[in-house]
Structure 1
Amino acid sequence: MAAARPTNPWLILLGLALGVSISNAFGRFAYGLILPSMKSSLGWSLTQSGWLNTANSIGYIVGSILTLLLIRHFSPSRLFASGTVATALCLLATGFDESLVFQTACRTLVGLFGALSFVSGGVLAASLFQSHARKNALAIALYFGGGGGFGIALCGATLPTMLDAFGPQYWDWAWIGVGLAALVICPFSVWASTELNETEHDAALPSIPPVRRMLGQLGGYALFGLGYIVYVTFISVWMKEQHSSVLLTTATWMVLGFSIMASPFVWRGVLARFSSGMPLALILSGVALGSALPILVPSGYGLILSALVFGLSVFMPPTAVTSFVRQNVEQPDWGATISFFTVIFAISQALGPIGAGVIGDITGEIGDSLVVASAVLLVGALCAAMQKPLIREAAKPS
């Protein structure tokens, strides 16, 4: 893939990363902050609450597959721009009807268009600094973590206070506010993508990834999708059940956002050192610990520490998978292999929220689902730890 040289690559990267604020932070994580108010006002069960993020994940599956088909015929910049704007509009629409059917449709479309934006934006970010390997790797990591962390911190700083001041019945205005914030960001993100609108893309049919030789890494990534989404969806519901203050909720989500922003710098040494599944194993161990800490240390300190540990790890598995593929698979097969990982992740992610909701309804305690999620993540870490390099050191692609 070749791209025209932009005059302001770091500014363009900022615009692309802010697109992740829309597709991931607003599109996926904000639901966890608004959910307690929606659940209280609309009388939802935990299963119904989990279902909406499962619907979002189903949309993400469809969007991921759709992106892989469309990117052979349309430029990544066009897909990124259309996906980002459509995600913002669907977020805004979420505040206009309380019916479960309408909410399901909105969450599904947010997932679909969010995947279109996120995946194609990753292609654009990877086209920056191609002649400088370290800058290129940093750009990809900052794309995944920087914009998402900023969006989560922004939501954490505003939504809990707003809903506490006006009451849970104003959950619809929270979504309208999120949608308007996304629309404000859109022009900058669209501009960034148009600066890379001459990016070429490979129209060749994808090759078949070496699945049998990557079962450890695939298993780890699948269990990551199944486990991490439980914390994202239900941590605020659990905090409300524990009568946590608005200040603590705000602080927890802001720490989560800022630690996500810092995570690329924490893990880049580990990612560069290993060509096996060890980076993913270590990262999943961090996600597992962060998920369990609210239950293991049931206090405000435990929640803040949980947000810190979880945030420093949760956005890094895609980077770990990308690094693994780049070091172990021939360059012409990178796209197809990473895409295969993405689809596996998306399918497993769809099962997590509704499964956690069912467990919470059966036991009467959503904290039990956090513990189960932590155990799932630890199994994923074990799977990844068993993954060996696919090729010998001397044969790695540069």
Structure 2
Amino acid sequence: MNYLHAFLSSCSVLMLVFAISRYGLTAMLPLMKSGVPLNAVQAGILSSSNFIGYLSGALLTRFINPGRNKKILYNLFLLLLVVMILLMGMTHSLRFMVFLRFTSGLISAFVFISTFAWISSVLMQNNKKELLPLLYSSVGLGIFLVSVIIGIIDDFATWEVGWISLGIFAVPFCIFSFTARPFLPCTDATDSGSKRGVYKEMPAHIKSLVIFTLIFYAAEGFSNNISATFILYNLKNLDFISDNVWEAWALVGFAGFLSPFLIRKLLKTFDFPMTLLTLQTLLSLGIIMPLIENKLFIYAGSVFFGFSFLSIPPITLGFVSSLVNEGKDKIISDFTIIFSSALFISPVLGGIITDITGHYSNSVLLAFSISMVGLLSSFFINKIYRINNFQSTARGII
């Protein structure tokens, strides 16, 4: 398989795993709010269950050794993701929905870690590492298309039809994803043993860089997911935009689609730490601006949010992967575990705060505060870069 086919099949996987399966819930929550119905806490639980599953899956990938059946298992998981999306529109049981979201998250972690470890190696071997950020461009495109679909359905159909439509939309991406050829993180005991010592073998300055990047990544995950979960749920309460809330999410997706192309230009001007700082600043603005009840601010915030929250993960993971020669998949797995922990905590906490105080703004302020931790971490990353002259390495990622 050539690198272009590998890249496109990986894009298809990410569209299915993230744009449709994971973030499809964000687009569906406004419809489900009155149809199921769902309060803020229940919406948070529904979102968090997916990330708890994702965390569990990230942990389990360390121990899965399917041997010759790895490709069969991978394809089966892709198919199950589509089935679970369809089932979301065929049940009115919140408990069963939580089960479906948890299981899809579990499967998604397995699929993503396997795919990212594979495609990053393929692109590095073919000297095409600049394509790594473009993987998440496909997620942005998927979010945009999902938003358009839900926007159309919202005019004449129910939330059940919405989920079934998303399931049908996912089918062609699932079929094309079958052509991917990922490897799994732990394929034999010897390899697994060598990976356990990957951190011990790191030079001190690289280890410090990895630790601060991990803190940054966790803060980014926590701060973005409150907005990613509740932005449309909250906008549905505003009369001047309640009938067109999908437009805000479509802008998030469209900005996410364009972001990798713009970031490549950004990195020609700034090094990695400054790019990281810029993205986190945009993310913070994207989190706080929708609190201003004005369409211009809401749409601008959506663009800032989409530009940053889909760009940070591939840049961060690609950068960390480039720091080591051995154990890339273990490091990706560790980052995924921490990231998904932040992701599952944030929507539940956000839902509880919203329910107790009666104001979504308090959850946003919490997310904004955590995003400041990410900014602070980026300053430490910048300092380590300067001291150890990492600038050229950073620019080589994109």
Query: What TM-score do the two structures reach when normalised by structure 2?
Result: 0.86
**Residue 364 and residue 246 in structure 1: after superposition, are their counterparts in 2 closer, same or farther (change >3 A)?**
closer
Q: Which amino acid aligns with 1:149?
A: G
Partner of residue 148, structure 1? 139
Check whether the contact 1:248–1:300 (CA below 8 A) recurs between aligned residues: no
Partner of residue 57, structure 2? 63
Counting only pairs closer than 5 Å after superposition, residues 152-231 of structure 1 correspond to structure 2 as 152-166=143-157, 170-191=158-179, 193=180, 196=181, 203=188, 204-205=191-192, 206=195, 207-209=197-199, 214-231=210-227
Q: Which amino acid aligns with 1:321?
A: T
**Residue 79 and residue 290 in structure 1: after superposition, are their counterparts in 2 closer, same or farther (change >3 A)?**
farther
Q: Which amino acid aligns with 1:228?
A: N
Partner of residue 257, structure 1? 253
Check whether the contact 2:62–2:185 (CA below 8 A) recurs between aligned residues: no
1:355 partnered with 2:346 = no
1:312 partnered with 2:307 = yes
Check whether the contact 2:321–2:332 (CA below 8 A) recurs between aligned residues: no
Moved more, 120-129 or 73-82: 73-82
Moved more, 27-36 or 63-72: 63-72
Counting only pairs closer than 5 Å after superposition, residues 235-254 of structure 1 correspond to structure 2 as 235-245=231-241, 248-254=244-250
Q: Which amino acid aligns with 1:124?
A: W
* Unmatched runs of 5 consecutive residues or more in structure 1: 1-5
Check whether the contact 2:61–2:184 (CA below 8 A) recurs between aligned residues: no
Match of 2:371 among 356, 371, 377: 377
Residue 289 of structure 1, CA deviation: 0.9
Q: Deviations over 1:217-250 (max 9, x none)?
A: 2211111111111111111111111124466423
1:303 partnered with 2:295 = no
In 1, Cα distance between equivalents of 2:240 and 2:26 = 15
In 1, Cα distance between equivalents of 2:73 and 2:392 = 32
Residue 278 of structure 1, CA deviation: 4.2
Q: Deviations over 1:97-151 (max 9, x none)?
A: 1111101101101111112222222123223343443x2231x2112x1221121
Match of 1:234 among 230, 233, 236: 230
Q: Deviations over 1:5-56 (max 9, x none)?
A: x24x324422321211111011121111111221212333211110111101
In 2, Cα distance between equivalents of 1:214 and 1:390 = 15
Provide the secondary structure at the position in 1 that maps to 2:30: helix
In 2, Cα distance between equivalents of 1:363 and 1:346 = 26
Q: Which amino acid aligns with 1:148?
A: V
Q: Which amino acid aligns with 1:184?
A: P
**Residue 177 and residue 384 in structure 1: after superposition, are their counterparts in 2 closer, same or farther (change >3 A)?**
same
> How many residue pairs align between the two structures?
381
* Unmatched runs of 5 consecutive residues or more in structure 2: none
In 1, Cα distance between equivalents of 2:287 and 2:236 = 16
Q: Deviations over 1:336-360 (max 9, x none)?
A: 2232111111111110101110111
Residue 314 of structure 1, CA deviation: 0.7
1:368 partnered with 2:362 = yes
Query: What TM-score do the two structures reach when normalised by structure 1?
Result: 0.86
In 2, Cα distance between equivalents of 1:343 and 1:19 = 20
Partner of residue 8, structure 2? 14
In 1, Cα distance between equivalents of 2:26 and 2:385 = 37
In 1, Cα distance between equivalents of 2:28 and 2:312 = 26
1:121 partnered with 2:115 = yes
Check whether the contact 1:159–1:174 (CA below 8 A) recurs between aligned residues: yes
Check whether the contact 1:223–1:380 (CA below 8 A) recurs between aligned residues: yes
Percent pairwise identity: 25
1:136 partnered with 2:129 = yes
Check whether the contact 1:216–1:277 (CA below 8 A) recurs between aligned residues: no
Residue 161 of structure 1, CA deviation: 2.7
**Residue 115 and residue 333 in structure 1: after superposition, are their counterparts in 2 closer, same or farther (change >3 A)?**
closer
1:267 partnered with 2:286 = no
**Residue 123 and residue 20 in structure 1: after superposition, are their counterparts in 2 closer, same or farther (change >3 A)?**
same
Residue 383 of structure 1, CA deviation: 1.8
Moved more, 155-164 or 99-108: 155-164
Residue 155 of structure 1, CA deviation: 1.0
Aligned CA RMSD, in angstroms, stands at 2.8
Q: Deviations over 1:324-379 (max 9, x none)?
A: 3245x331143322321111111111101011101111221223322321221122
Check whether the contact 1:294–1:306 (CA below 8 A) recurs between aligned residues: yes
**Residue 184 and residue 132 in structure 1: after superposition, are their counterparts in 2 closer, same or farther (change >3 A)?**
closer
Check whether the contact 1:71–1:79 (CA below 8 A) recurs between aligned residues: no
Partner of residue 3, structure 1? none
Residue 311 of structure 1, CA deviation: 0.9
